Structure 1
Amino acid sequence: MKKIKNPILRGFYPDPSILRVGSDYYLATSTFEWFPGVTLLHSRDLENWETIEPPLSDDSVLDLRGIDTSCGIWAPNLSYSNGIYYLLYTIVYTDRSRFKDTHNFLITASDIHGPWSKPVYLNCSGFDPSLFHDDDGKMWLVNMTIDQRAYRKRFGGVVLQEYSHEKRGLTGPVYKVFEGTQLGKTEGPNLYKHNGFYYLLCAEGGTEFGHCCTVARSKTIFGPYEVHPQNPILSSKGAENYPIQRAGHGSLVETEDHRWLMFHLCSRPLDGYSILGRETAVQNIEWTNDGWFYIPGAENKLPLTEFKVPDLPVFSVQDPPVREDFDGPKLPRAFLTLRESAQSCGISLTERKGYVRIRGGNSLCSKYRQGLLARRLQSLHCTIGTSVEFTPRSFHHMAGLVCYYNYDNYHYAKISYDETAGKSVSITSVDNRTVTETEPVPVPEDGPVYLRAAIDGAALQFSYSVDGEQYQKLGPVLNMRVLSDEHVDGNGFTGAMVGICCQDLRGDGVFSDFDWFDYQQADS
């Protein structure tokens, strides 16, 4: 047996849904306001994962313009039956006070690489939908429900409704099958059948530090469901110094040799701040004679820092280069944009060969047309850099390197224009809407400017260069905790991103050309 270290996916990879088809494993994770929608990954050895074609990459099938931060696509669910892949997902349009507008959709494909069908609208009674394929051929939509009434439990339990593939829609009555346990905030329901029992695996306790996985079972799909005698079966609650926190939102898979694994989200906070966001980890599962399953070796139900798998052939995945030169015909799949496709955001690889051109968009505080291209931060010990050619004519024109959480929280090393300093570099930091800026430092009018971000734990230091060799520190050491789930006002469900961007707040048609983007981490 081989031991694999957790988490297997580092950085912003939350809400994992795992599927095995033959010897291939496929994993789907949430993307929220980031585009393309739903990240799909593939592996054959459960250790090395490659990002494959995104299922929602067309603006015509996914419109997230105006979506609030940490809304958008939540908790995708992958399943497979009779040669068809099914992918369910929620688009959260609103998450205010007790109200959530959560529209659930389904797309299908005969090949995991696509093409995928146009979305089928299912319902909007709650979020975290999954699709259960029963032995008799019936398919059941499973989702939690939201109760907006102030005098009732907001997380209203788990419901089932039959899905008709022929009609491409739901049919028949809605059955409420589970109220949840006393831990509350019942969500992320996945239904499985094993040895004559139906098992509901749920997330409970909220996705903060009280998060957990709970289990219930029934002899019939409609219940009643009895809860696991040792619920929760997985949680980091109360173990403040344990390296893996916020464990919950599980998804089961049976391996080819009939072992069982549970994929789940987690975080590795620094001083209580999950800067990297929620990540994906895996636990071994063991079925016992009482008909329940457990995590073997888990002390006090804590997630283990490694799991075991058979010695499978190594699945070869090409590591992304430290330097992305933007010489290819397509953007690498590691890069994401906000709420719209790269093309709609004014990002092009063809306007200037060997560069990515970003046309000035709205401010970084906007929910519409941002000229921002970013990737996940996956280590708290790394260096990020870029070379940018930009000719600002006004303080309304900006371009540069950004460490970004959401429109209210970011650190931005930018090139702009100042009436006194002329073309110059400075830093804009936004901390829960409070804006601070450093004094502009003049740079030459012509030629590229090189920008660098060095991250060491919670410390961020920007620097700049005019020759690509000698770098000067830019501004003070900044706090990366600002870019964490726990720090932001309101919902924080994503994770820190690093990227390049351009703004044109006067509508002059300015653009910036980025020659390369470096991302080098010392560890993970």
Structure 2
Amino acid sequence: MKIKNPVLPGFNPDPSMIRVGDTYYIANSTFEWFPGVRLHESTDMVHWRLLPSPLSTTKLLNLHGDLSSGGVWAPDLSYHDGKFWLVFTDVKTMEGPFKDCINYLTTADKITGPWSDPIELDGTGFDASLFHDDDGKKYLVQETWDHREWKPTFHGITLTEYDPKAKKLLPETRRVIYDGTDVALVEGPHLYKINGYYYLFAAQGGTVWTHQEVVSRSKTLDAHSFETEPGDIFLTNFDTPRLPIQKQGHGALVNTPAGEWYYASLCGRPWHHENESVFDPRGWCSLGRETSIQKVTFDDDGWPRVVGGHGGMVEVPAPKDAKPMKDVSDNHSFEDQFDQPKLNLEWQTLRDPFDSRMGKQGDGKLVLRGQQSLSSIFNVSMIASRWQAFHFTAETKVSFDPNSYQQMAGLVNFYNDRHYSWIFVTYDEDRDAKVIEVAENDNNHYRSFLKDHAIVIPDNVNAVYFRTVVDKQSYHYAYSFDGQKWEDIDVTLDAAVLSDDYVLQNYGGFFTGAMVGLACVDYSGFYQPASFDYFKYQEK
């Protein structure tokens, strides 16, 4: 078998991978999307099954009002003392001199929960992980934030002892153990003890084209005691622009029962417009930051090296002792008839859980209660799933009776509150009719494409079918009044607008990825509902 990268396509960044017995688990960041932390399991590292998210209640996670790309950063999953430990950061301040954040710890006997009430640890920095030493001590390892304008904002990697009996950190033990290199922006630390050495894996260079993973080690956990791996950098794609996977770094190391080593990291797959260089700009990652896995060996001096060189490989040999998962498909297509009381695991909502304020589902209907606009960071009625392929279609059937242009419901492609587009039903007071409109918000420049040529919905049509067709560099919308005859709308949209790299040009939070979903807006405040009969996501 071959591991084909990315193993977790679409918005699945900052992987924390562990092994318990013969099963591997990966936890990924979810940022402002609820529920928090995305979990997968596998027995072969090739196929991965989605599990319920651990942070599924507001008691465990309150994201209300978190900025886009704030929220849950870099969760760390570990297994020790017969239970799972999950450390995660909730980032409240995104831009400017401060990164106000809170690090939490929750535990569970089983990966499926229930998870304990979270313990507030500290706010020293983000990307916190928990290291269980072989002498019984536990330490929180994290990026350290420094707001002072004459100092580097990424102020090294901090280690603080954690007292599991008192359930708190011991601040008097805090010290910086590694400063990083002149590449700067050292973050995403994970600590391991192998053959008498403490190995620290950390990301550098920012989560863009200059991203890299650096390794250091020490015989002790003393302040500033870690030395950087000599020679070739452990993992980077800065100098491999033609490799299909880019931006690798920030991840976790795991060994197999047979003693092989693998490293999971985030990655991106850029595409280019026809008139663009593959070097600069490097491209547009509309699928966001994904998860890749590389094989690792240790050299004669005990330093880890990526098999195939520091750029990694797209296809990687699977573990020799892998147990194949035959019931998991590489195709992520799914159809939802909304006949269950709970949302499908593929769906997420913005900041708040799906509850009666947002809507309800069951008996073949999803009802969304119109709330604030898609540009709001409060009270948004939308469910969305990830773009997980460059080519796909998504469609739905919606019933909606607006009486104001402030009421809209339909099918949306969404990156964040500043970057999205959608096709929707709304009301045109000039024609006293329900109409179909297509609009895009491009860095908060909102544009309605059809305007006074919006498509009038006949009086005898109670429901409208909507479809989006995504073809890597671009996408468009279509509609139908009977579900059989489809009409393409002559508006072609640039998929780059929904990419990390495009958002980065104007906003410091560019850490998620494109999503497709269903939404209902009523910013007039009368909560006009929309009913959806089904949703179908089909990869080509």
* 2:402/2:426 contact within 8 Å kept: yes
- Does 1:254 find its partner at 2:255? yes
| Cα distance between partner residues in 1 of 2:236 and 2:378 | 38
What is the deviation of 1:60? 2.5
Q: Which runs of 5+ in 1 are unaligned?
A: none
Where does residue 361 of structure 1 map in the other structure?
371
Provide, for residues 141-193 of structure 1, a one-character-per-residue CA deviation record: whole Å limited to 9, x for no partner: 00110111110111000111111111111124211111111110000010001
Report which stretch shifted further, 474-483 or 274-283. 474-483
Q: Is structure 2 residue 469 aligned with structure 1 residue 454? A: yes
Superposed, which structure 2 residues align to 1:272-351 within 5 Å? 272-298=283-309, 301-309=310-318, 310=320, 312-319=322-329, 322-343=334-355, 346-350=358-362
Secondary structure of the corresponding residue to residue 40 of structure 1? strand
Contact preservation (8 Å) 1:427, 1:475: no
Q: Is residue 2:407 matched to residue 1:397?
A: yes
CA–CA distance in structure 2, aligned partners of residues 365 and 60 of structure 1: 26
Following the alignment from structure 1 to structure 2, what is the Cα–Cα distance between the partners of residues 239 and 27?
26
* Code of the aligned partner of 1:492: F
Q: State the one-letter code of the partner of 1:376.
A: R
Residue 203 of structure 1 corresponds to: 203
* Whole-Å separation in 2 of the counterparts to 1:60 and 1:444: 46
Within 5 A, what are the aligned runs for 1:460-479? 460-479=475-494
Instruction: Determine the structure 2 residue equivalent to 1:25.
Output: 24
Query: How far off its partner does 1:45 sit?
Result: 1.4
Corresponding letter in the other structure for 1:173:
T
- CA drift of 1:17 comes to 0.1
- In the TM superposition, residue 12 of structure 1 has moved relative to its aligned partner by 0.1
User: 1:112 offset after TM fit, Å?
Assistant: 1.1
Separation in structure 2 between the aligned mates of residue 317 and residue 90 of structure 1, nearest angstrom: 33
Contact 1:426 1:474 in 2 (8 A): no
Separation (CA, whole Å) in 1 of partners of 2:360 and 2:253? 40
CA contact (8 A) 1:286 1:294 kept: yes
Q: Which SS does the other structure have where 1:100 is aligned?
A: coil
Is 1:406 the counterpart of 2:420 in the alignment? no
**What is the identity, as a one-letter code, of the residue corresponding to 1:269?**
P
Match of 2:514 in 1: 496
Please name the residue that 1:125 is paired with: 124
The alpha-carbon deviation at position 318 of structure 1 amounts to 4.8
Letter of the 1:103 counterpart = I
CA deviation string 1:277-334 (max 9, x = no partner): 0000000000121011101222xx2121111122533224455663211112321100
Deviations 1:77-116 (A, max 9, x none): 0011111210000000002222110211100111111010
The alignment's TM-score, normalised by the length of structure 1, stands at 0.97
Contact 2:85 2:105 in 1 (8 A): yes
> Which residue is equivalent to 1:444?
458
Distance in 1 (alpha carbons) for counterparts of 2:328 and 2:263: 26
Q: Following TM superposition, by how much is the alpha carbon of 1:344 offset from its aligned partner in structure 2, in angstroms?
A: 5.7
Structure-1 separation of matches of 2:145 and 2:385:
32
Q: Which moved more, 1:393-402 or 1:500-509?
A: 500-509
Residue 88 of structure 1: aligned partner: 87
Give the counterpart letter for 1:50 in structure 2.
R
Q: Deviations over 1:448-491 (max 9, x none)?
A: 10000001111111010000011112241111110011111212
Assess if the C-alpha contact under 8 Å between 2:90 and 2:101 holds in 1: yes
Q: Match for 1:509: what amino acid?
A: Y
Contact map agreement 2:131 2:141 (CA 8 A) in 1? yes
**8 Å contact from structure 2 (residues 48, 328) kept in 1:** no
- Cα deviation for residue 349 of structure 1 reads 1.1
Contact 1:214 1:231 in 2 (8 A): no
Q: For residue 482 of structure 1, give the secondary structure of its aligned residue in structure 2.
A: helix
- AA in 2 matched with 1:302: G
Identical-pair percentage = 40
Alpha-carbon distance between aligned partners in 1 of 2:139 and 2:285, rounded to the nearest angstrom: 35
Cα gap change, 1:345 to 1:227, in 2 (>3 Å) = farther
User: SS at 1:398's partner residue?
Assistant: strand
Distance 1:61 1:15, change over 3 A: same
How far, CA to CA, are the matches of 1:308 and 1:119 in structure 2?
Answer: 38
SS at match of 2:185: coil
What is the root-mean-square deviation in Å for CA atoms of aligned residues?
1.3
Structure 2: give runs of 5+ residues left out of the alignment.
Answer: 273-282
Within-5 A mapping of 1:204-283: 204-222=204-222, 224-271=225-272, 272-283=283-294
Deviates more, 1:161-170 or 1:56-65: 56-65
Counterparts of 1:240 and 1:289 in 2: how far apart (Å)?
30
TM score, norm. by length of structure 2: 0.94
Deviation at 1:444, TM superposition (A): 2.3
- Using the TM superposition, name which of 316-325 and 465-474 deviates more: 316-325
* Residue correspondence of structure 1 range 58-137 to structure 2 within 5 A: 58-137=57-136
Q: Which residue of 1 aligns with 2:164?
A: 165
Once the two structures are superposed, residues 120-145 of structure 1 have per-residue CA deviations (whole angstroms, 9 ceiling, x without a partner) of 01110100001111110100000110
How far has the Cα of 1:420 moved from its partner? 3.0
Query: In the alignment, what sits opposite 1:428?
Result: 439
CA distance 1:185–1:345, change in 2 (3 Å) = farther
Take 1:463 and 1:321, find their aligned partners in 2: how far apart are those partners? 19
The separation in 1 between residues aligned to 2:78 and 2:322, in whole angstroms, is 23
Aligned amino acid, residue 17 of structure 2: I
| 1:6 CA drift (Å) | 0.6
Whether the aligned pair in 1 keeps the contact of 2:258 and 2:321 (CA below 8 Å) is: no
Q: How many residues align?
A: 517
Structure 1 residues 345 and 30 mapped into 2: Cα distance closer, same or farther (>3 Å)?
A: farther
- Does the 8 Å contact 1:345/1:370 carry over to 2? no
Aligned structure 1 segments of 4 or more residues deviating by more than 4 angstroms: 318-321
